[in-house]
Amino acid sequence: METNIVMAPETSPKFTDQVDRSNHTHFMGIEGAGMFALAELFRRRGCVVSGCDLAPGENSEQLKLDQVEIYGSHHESHLSGVNTLVVSSAIPWTAQEIQEAIRLEIPVLKRAEALGQCINHGEILAVSGTHGKTTTTAMATEILDIAGLNPTGIAGGYVFSWGGNLRHGGDLYVVEADEYDRSFLELKPDIAVVTNIEEDHLDCYRDLDEIISVFGQFLGSLPSNGTAVVCGDDRIAGRVMNGLEGRKVSYGLNPGAQLRATEVHQSDDGVSFSLLEQGINCGHFRIKSLGLHNLQNSLAAVASSRCLGVSWEAIREGLRSYEGVKRRFEIIGFHRDILIVDDYAHHPSEVTATLVAARQAYPNRRIVALFQPHLFTRTKDFASDFGESLLVADEIWITDVFASREDPIEGVTGGLIASSVEQSGRTVRYHADMNTLSESLIKFLTPGDLIITLGAGSIRQVSEEIKVLLQSGGFNE
């Protein structure tokens, strides 16, 4: 039977500038970090919420505890009583619920559109960049909370001090502004942070020049009294900032930065540093997170907080009290003198930064890296770069690609990255089968190792399995 597919309208209907308490909103792909946070925000603001996801997990279980109806499939019947449908970027427009919603003239919004329509009435601190968005968002929210500004934080990861992806507060919003699918252009920020700009998401951008152009468009959307906060250490981000009119603040480690970190000391329990603002010494600070990349993230949080008039005392306490984000150099366990770490790194630069941080914090441990590539397009585009980034580790293991929203691409596997490592003259172990990976790894590990799982997919489960095996004695010293 022939099916008539209705395509997405050029502009989506506007359902409200704020969450309507009588509105029933259904979220497709509710398990995703960004969708879950938005659904939780709608629920906390009094909206009726339901959702569906083909891979329900921890987020869905949390919503069920809050009496939210969650389905493990897509079906037209889920739209009963629904006023608005919000869809993840990973959901194809041909999905049953979307087509039925269009037929019933129910507004269909992408997640970014719904977020913008929900929060654009407030004051927005939007954190953009190829890397570091979640950590910077969480740090800035922590500082503003300590300062008594009662922010609403919306992050793309589980923030330990929030107990989830959302810190529910007032109409000052600290939010991740994702460049994927140009999502951040739906926001109307008052302060816009750019942590860095690199090639990524080449499934929706032609090349780096187009990415740079869209970041320029994002910063150009600031109002006349808005502020751009940009990492001066990043050459491309700095170039975009230089082309801007209006108020702009640079941060970083380089001498030209308006907010500059000096006297930096790294250890296995964090980073300490001094801060100069316009050349004036503002004192000594400390974060518990590892690596210079997290120092830069903290500087972004500090610079944006200063734009809101936050005191140095509140900033110092906010940074000190920040407990981190799940899957950002998260220590899973320490057993039999083997340290188990898990990290979300899924771009070559992130892999490099994470492994360098591990090397600096634990110089006497053998670093065993287990990498799971994320997305076939990203693996194809950056296979050689991933191979180079993994060379920081002492031992390299690679498993197969986590597909996420994508269909397979012929010839694209984790083996491409393994081949890149081999071309550098290094030994690499390519183990495609996730089901037997932990058992193979446990035979390889020795006391004194640091085993770190890397990737945005399902690789964390291997670190958990290794922890259980070490605890249960499945390891021969």
Question: Rounded to an integer, what distance in angstroms lies between the CA atom of residue 246 and that of residue 261?
Answer: 24
Answer yes or no: is pLDDT of 477 > 90. no
Three-state DSSP at 37 gives: helix
Q: How confident is the model at residue 7 (pLDDT cuts 50, 70, 90)?
A: very low
pLDDT tens, position by position, 420-461 = 999 999 999 999 999 999 999 999 999 999 999 999 999 999
Catalytic one among 25, 133, 135, 465?
A: 133
Task: Note the pLDDT of residue 199.
Answer: 82
Task: Note the pLDDT of residue 48.
Answer: 92
Cβ contact 434:400 at 8 Å: yes
Tell me, yes or no, whether 453 and 336 share the same domain: yes
Number of structural domains the chain divides into: 3
Tell me, yes or no, whether 250 and 316 share the same domain: yes
pLDDT tens, position by position, 292-303 = 999 999 999 999
For the purposes of burial, counting CB atoms within 10 Å of the CB of 281, is it exposed (0-12), middle (13-18) or buried (19 or more)? Answer: exposed
Tell me, yes or no, whether 193 and 89 share the same domain: no
Cβ contact 91:110 at 8 Å: no
Tell me, yes or no, whether 338 and 233 share the same domain: no
Tell me, yes or no, whether 151 and 299 share the same domain: yes
Catalytic one among 130, 134, 352, 379?
A: 134
Give domain status of residue 4, yes or no: no
Give domain status of residue 422, yes or no: yes
Cβ contact 449:443 at 8 Å: no
Q: Could you tell me the CATH number of the domain that includes residue 313?
A: 3.40.1190.10
Percent of the chain with pLDDT over 70: 94
Tell me, yes or no, whether 313 and 262 share the same domain: yes
Task: Note the pLDDT of residue 11.
Answer: 45
| 176 included as an active-site residue | yes
Tell me, yes or no, whether 337 and 268 share the same domain: no
Cβ contact 199:177 at 8 Å: no
Question: Distance of CA 272 to CAs 106, 267, 328, Å?
Answer: 52, 9, 19
| 134 included as an active-site residue | yes
Domain with 175, as residue range(s), is: 120-321
Lowest mean per-residue pLDDT among 121-125, 168-172, 231-235, 473-477: 473-477
Task: Note the pLDDT of residue 375.
Answer: 92
Tell me, yes or no, whether 100 and 146 share the same domain: no
Lowest mean per-residue pLDDT among 50-64, 136-150, 214-228, 428-442: 50-64
Q: How confident is the model at residue 138 (pLDDT cuts 50, 70, 90)?
A: very high
Q: Could you tell me the CATH number of the domain that includes residue 443?
A: 3.90.190.20
Task: Note the pLDDT of residue 86.
Answer: 96
Last residue of a domain, one of 321, 354, 376: 321
Answer yes or no: is pLDDT of 394 > 90. yes
Tell me, yes or no, whether 129 and 222 share the same domain: yes
Question: Rounded to an integer, what distance in angstroms lies between the CA atom of residue 172 and that of residue 144?
Answer: 9
Last residue of a domain, one of 266, 286, 321: 321
Tell me, yes or no, whether 309 and 363 share the same domain: no
Question: Distance of CA 20 to CAs 25, 47, 171, 338, 384, Å?
Answer: 10, 6, 15, 51, 49
Q: Could you tell me the CATH number of the domain that includes residue 64?
A: 3.40.50.720
Q: What ranges make up the beta strands (E) of 139-213?
A: 152-159, 164-167, 172-176, 191-194
Question: Distance of CA 322 to CAs 110, 209, 272, 275, 308, Å?
Answer: 31, 35, 14, 18, 19
Catalytic one among 31, 176, 186, 395?
A: 176
Q: How confident is the model at residue 21 (pLDDT cuts 50, 70, 90)?
A: low
Higher pLDDT, 379 or 1: 379
Answer yes or no: is pLDDT of 13 > 60. no
Give domain status of residue 265, yes or no: yes
| 188 included as an active-site residue | no
pLDDT tens, position by position, 173-195 = 999 998 888 889 999 999 999 99
